[in-house]
């Protein structure tokens, strides 16, 4: 990653932390951990009123490497978040410009934005499980997304998913995010490299930090 891009990503991460500065002390607080949707469509898994490092995850549901990252470290990230040891900000983005991958990505991200907070993580799991293979073929059909939202336990979101109600909002709200590729993982403003794919190394990076008040 070149220095300019890294600087932009770090700046975006810092702004995201500042924008939700009223949200997440190391370890659980009395308020508890919950998943919260932000105005721009990003999702925050955090212990409100706590203190923890901030982990920003920029992901494209169409991205095979994002799926690999999810398989390797998602359980670790979620465990640390629920223990109050990290605050996670999920940023669904559309990185691909060529079809059909671009449209695949938009449909999936728009569908995720329909899903209530209580079912969002389960739906995210479903999206990675149904990622089109091989990469570059048409996938994430609307009817399949509707079936996935039912499976994730959010039937109230079916009509929103079917209408792709948030497709334009997804593109608008993520247009200012400049990253070199996905996944991009940022810990307290520092872009991580290969350690992001290793659950042991990632946990060490997270728990070894000083933490920031959020």
Strand order in the sheet with 184-187: 33-37, 43-47, 87-92, 54-59, 184-187, 190-191
* Residue 118, number of CB atoms within 10 A of its CB: 12
Query: Is a pLDDT exceeding 90 seen at residue 181?
Result: yes
12, 41, 73, 86, 120 from 110: Cα distances, Å: 22, 9, 24, 26, 12
Longest alpha-carbon distance in the chain: 47
Comparing 18 with 118, which gets the higher pLDDT?
118
Query: Is a pLDDT exceeding 80 seen at residue 104?
Result: yes
Domain positions in the chain are: 1-93+177-214, 96-176
What are the tokens at 184?
């991009």
CATH number for region 1-93+177-214: 3.40.30.10
- The pair phi, psi for residue 188, each rounded to 5°, is 50, 45
pLDDT band (50, 70, 90) for residue 212? very low
Which residue(s) pair with 47 in the sheet? Answer: 33
Distance CA 80, CA 95 (A): 27
Query: Is a pLDDT exceeding 60 seen at residue 34?
Result: yes
Question: For residue 13, is it left (φ>0), alpha (ψ between -120 and 50) or beta?
Answer: alpha
CB 83 within 8 A of CB 24: no
What's the predicted TM-score (pTM) here?
0.84
């Amino acid at each position: 990653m070149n220095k300019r891009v890294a600087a932009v990503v770090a700046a975006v991460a810092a702004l995201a932390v500042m924008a939700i500065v009223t949200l997440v002390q190391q370890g659980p607080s009395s308020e508890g951990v919950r998943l919260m949707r932000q105005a721009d469509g990003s999702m925050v898994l955090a212990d409100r009123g706590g203190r923890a490092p901030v982990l920003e995850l920029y992901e494209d549901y169409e991205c095979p490497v994002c799926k690999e990252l999810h398989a390797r470290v998602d359980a670790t990230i979620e465990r640390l978040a629920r223990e109050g040891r990290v605050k996670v900000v999920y940023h669904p983005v559309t990185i691909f410009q060529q079809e059909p991958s671009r449209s695949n990505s938009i449909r999936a991200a728009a569908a995720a934005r329909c899903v209530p907070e209580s079912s969002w993580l389960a739906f995210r799991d479903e999206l990675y499980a149904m990622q089109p293979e091989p990469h570059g073929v048409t996938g994430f059909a609307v009817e399949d997304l509707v079936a996935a939202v039912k499976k994730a336990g959010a039937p109230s979101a079916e009509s929103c998913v079917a209408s792709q109600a948030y497709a334009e909002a997804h593109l608008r709200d993520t247009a200012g995010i400049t990253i070199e590729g996905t996944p991009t993982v940022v810990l307290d403003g520092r872009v991580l490299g290969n350690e992001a794919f290793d659950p042991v190394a990632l946990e060490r990076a997270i728990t070894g930090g000083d933490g920031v008040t959020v």
